[in-house]
Chain A
């Protein structure tokens, strides 16, 4: 029998223990260092104010029934910056109202029912650098996801369309296993040349992985229970996360391998509404607030207390509408405190997405109609 010490050396120097350096890891480290330095400077310079703020960080959340760790940070305990909203770029009046949006590298995609086309949607593309807007007619869009070169459209008619964004046009279409009458239409998220789709067939949830250039799904997985909602699919950390309905108000969060959809873990949730992945954690919002889950679902901690209607991640912040007085709060997930406020209006039905340091909003604005605006660090 080989001695345990030699076996330990062999095991711990085995190539299988190598971990690929995550994309953007270096930038994330530098961003984290800058954030920590900012905090240090603020604490040093603010003196008594900082002490008062620290006290408020404990006292105020407790006073409104929140745990200190799960505070939305309505108090300025961190260097709170403002992301002022820019001017509104109007979209063509053929869109009755925005139903779905996607953003990738300064290109904003908006889909919504056409004013004069029954059953069809209008898809608008706004190049924010040039301000140029173009539109095309598409089927009824349930959800969409953009990458720099492609746009994936999940249609309520149970079809997935892959559009090429440079020249326009449909590259591929794939039938989706779903019930077009299901309350929750198919949902999609994408990264690189791949897309992950979840659809509801009326009794079960189908998850599919599709790749650019493929004629059929790379992998498929059927999960028990119906799809729990339109905002409950996320990818991150080489995994895909999807929520299915459980018993009563219950739901089940599934972690699947992002490469072959192999089940990795499941946990139970109560009435989840929104989900997003960022900064190495999965964030889930329910009626009580937002929790941050470890990527392997082994642990959770409260990030925000109180109901939220919007949840998105970007630039190492978690954005949600948890701050009294409106606006979208950018919360530093490491401290649970508000680092910035974007001056947009999720309470007025704006659809919101983070793209790098910017927050993009699509809404129906008085005197403008359907339009796009962004909030950037001031």
Chain B
């Protein structure tokens, strides 16, 4: 094993948990996250000697994860016939303290979700997100704005529904 492989090994050991978490936030599914991270790290490993000198390796991995997620999402949009309605997914819907928002996040288009995750999990600026996603900062801004507007509207609907469901009890009490 040469020096390149040693440092790649260190990189994978150190960053894999964070990358898995990032991919999980991005995809909503831990299995898909593991697949994407594995694929992205393999691509990174092949180019490691170049990446470690001329680029930010982690940014490259994140970009590969996001691109892998987008292409997978395009490829895999198909319907599977089921014999019975599956029960709610355990691992795909982790017991977060904000299940409503987690569910709504899954309804965002892949690019919008990527922007949201990079902004609010990775705490990236619009310029950094634009470099990661390979698009213009203006696109990041508009995608972020659309995503937040959609989430706000959906959450407002949920709040309204909850109030509407509670209202009759209050009205009919004597």
Q: Which A positions have Cβ atoms within 8 angstroms of B?
A: 1, 4-5, 7-14, 16-19, 21-22, 25-26, 28-30, 32-33, 35-37, 40, 224, 237-238, 246, 250, 252, 257, 262-268, 280, 294-301, 334
Contacts and interface: CB of A to CB of B under 8 A. Distances in A.
Given A25-B16, A237-B31, 11 more contacts: A4-B101, A11-B101, A11-B102, A29-B41, A29-B42, A32-B41, A250-B83, A262-B87, A265-B82, A266-B86, A267-B81
A1 to B, nearest CB: 7
B134 interface: no
A39 to B, nearest CB: 9
If over half of B's interface residues share one DSSP class (helix, strand or loop), that class is named, otherwise mixed; here it is helix
Contacts of A21: 16-17, 20
A14 B43 CA distance: 29
A264 to B, nearest CB: 6
Given A264-B86, A265-B86, A26 B12 contact: yes
B170 interface: no
A28 B30 CA distance: 17
A294 B121 contact: no
A4 B155 contact: yes
A9 B105 CA distance: 12
Interface residues of B, number: 57
B35 A266 contact: no
A268 B102 CA distance: 28
Contacts of A28: 38
B117 interface: yes
Interface of B: 5, 8-9, 12-13, 16-17, 20-21, 23-25, 29-35, 38-39, 41-43, 45-46, 75-76, 78, 80-84, 86-87, 89-92, 94-98, 101-102, 105, 116-117, 120-121, 148, 151-152, 155, 159
A40 to B, nearest CB: 7
B31 A280 contact: yes
Given A32-B45, A296-B92, A19 B83 contact: no
A19 B12 CA distance: 15
A43 to B, nearest CB: 13
B25 A17 contact: yes
A22 B39 CA distance: 14
A13 B32 contact: no
Given A19-B24, A32-B42, A296 B29 contact: yes
Nearest to B105: A11
B121 A25 contact: no
